[in-house]
Amino acid sequence: MALQRIDKILSSQNIASRSEIKAMVKAGRICADGSTVKRPEEKYDPETTLLTLDGQELRFRKYLYIMMNKPQGVLSASNDKYAKTVIDLLPEELYRRDLFPAGRLDKDTEGFLLITNDGELAHKMLSPKSHVYKLYEATTDRTLHEEDVAAFRAGIRCGDQTFLPADMKIIAPNKALVEICEGKFHQVKKMFSAVGAEVTALKRLRIGGVSLDEHLPPGACRELKDQEIIDILSHYHGL
Ligand code: URA
């Protein structure tokens, strides 16, 4: 690959603005193959040079795909004036300015959230036409019955909104797994509300063919593996 100015290489990776990068270089925070970069005009081959920021390796990939175990109490947004967002929780080495959560989990919902800068994949994952199923575990304020399962299977109508037929499996008196491939606002809570049950806790366990990594505590994240990036769009479903 052709040699490029270090400030251009780094700004294309969205780790910081061009002026912030200049300041990082001036402060001696960037190294190329172990030597401190002194001027933003210095040129390197981004594919063959090991670049570090504060000793952390910078990896050059166009897209990042991050699985987060979103904790309760944090907003699924890129930024917010007052509240903490999922982007605020990213460790420094994974942070890039163009990352966004692919779809929203409510503030009080926890579980699998995909954070990426790949708009096309996010769009495909979210579109009901793509048939990418999302699996949730819902806890409710009342005992669930087979009639609730049948109502979900028939398709729920709630005011002027309708929801596609959904599979539900009762796993405890007031706990169920629910699988949906739409992503309407407050969808799972509204579906339960339509059968007279209030959701008291909600957790997303799976997107497409990828399950939430059980080793990730709430608030932690990791990059998706190559196969998981493919499987996230799989039509897999099953309770
Ligand atoms: N359905 C909801 O009601 N809330 C979520 O956060 C996700 C799905």
What is the pLDDT, as a whole number, of residue 61?
78
- Render pLDDT for 72-131 as a digit per residue (tens, 0 to 9): 999 999 999 999 999 999 998 888 888 999 999 999 999 999 999 999 999 999 999 999
Distance (angstroms) between ligand 1 centre and the Cα of 189 equals 6
What is the pLDDT, as a whole number, of residue 45?
87
Q: If you take atom 2 of ligand 1, which residue's CA is the nearest one?
A: 186
> Cα separation of 204 and 104, whole Å?
11
What is the pLDDT, as a whole number, of residue 1?
62
Q: In angstroms, what CA-CA distances link 98 with 12, 113, 114, 148, 238?
A: 10, 16, 14, 41, 33
What is the pLDDT, as a whole number, of residue 170?
98
Do the Cβ atoms of 209 and 234 come closer than 8 Å?
Answer: yes
> Cα separation of 97 and 50, whole Å?
21
According to DSSP, the residues that pair with 139 across neighbouring strands are 175, 201
Looking up tokens 């954070």 gives 115
Q: Is the CB of 114 under 6 A from ligand 1?
A: no
Distance (angstroms) between ligand 1 centre and the Cα of 203 equals 8
Q: Is the CB of 187 under 6 A from ligand 1?
A: yes
pTM reported for the whole predicted model: 0.84
Give the residue ranges of DSSP H helices in 51-185: 119-126, 146-154
Q: What is the pLDDT along the chain (239 residues), one digit of tens a residue?
A: 678 899 988 887 777 888 899 999 999 999 999 999 999 999 998 878 899 999 988 877 789 999 999 999 999 999 999 999 999 999 988 888 889 999 999 999 999 999 999 999 999 999 999 999 999 999 999 999 999 999 999 999 988 899 999 999 999 999 999 999 998 999 999 999 999 999 999 999 999 999 999 999 999 999 999 999 999 999 998 89
Q: Is the CB of 182 under 6 A from ligand 1?
A: no
> Cα separation of 171 and 176, whole Å?
5
What is the pLDDT, as a whole number, of residue 149?
98
Do the Cβ atoms of 51 and 9 come closer than 8 Å?
Answer: yes
Report which ligand 1 atom has the smallest distance to the Cα of 204: 7
> Cα separation of 141 and 229, whole Å?
36
> Which of 104, 122, 10, 11 is CA-nearest to residue 65?
122
Catalytic residues: 106
Q: If you take atom 7 of ligand 1, which residue's CA is the nearest one?
A: 105
Question: In this structure, what are the phi and psi dihedrals at residue 74, rounded to the nearest 5 degrees?
Answer: -120, 140
Question: In this structure, what are the phi and psi dihedrals at residue 99, rounded to the nearest 5 degrees?
Answer: -75, 145
Q: Is the CB of 107 under 6 A from ligand 1?
A: no
Do the Cβ atoms of 109 and 72 come closer than 8 Å?
Answer: yes
Q: Is the CB of 13 under 6 A from ligand 1?
A: no
What is the pLDDT, as a whole number, of residue 23?
93
The residues, ordered by sequence, that sit 6+ positions from 51 with a Cβ below 8 Å of its Cβ are 6, 9, 10, 30, 31, 32, 44, 57, 58
Q: Is the CB of 76 under 6 A from ligand 1?
A: no
**Can you point out the beta strands (E) in 54-174?**
56-57, 65-70, 100-101, 109-116, 134-140, 156-158, 161-163, 167-172
Report which ligand 1 atom has the smallest distance to the Cα of 180: 8
Q: If you take atom 4 of ligand 1, which residue's CA is the nearest one?
A: 186
Distance (angstroms) between ligand 1 centre and the Cα of 109 equals 7
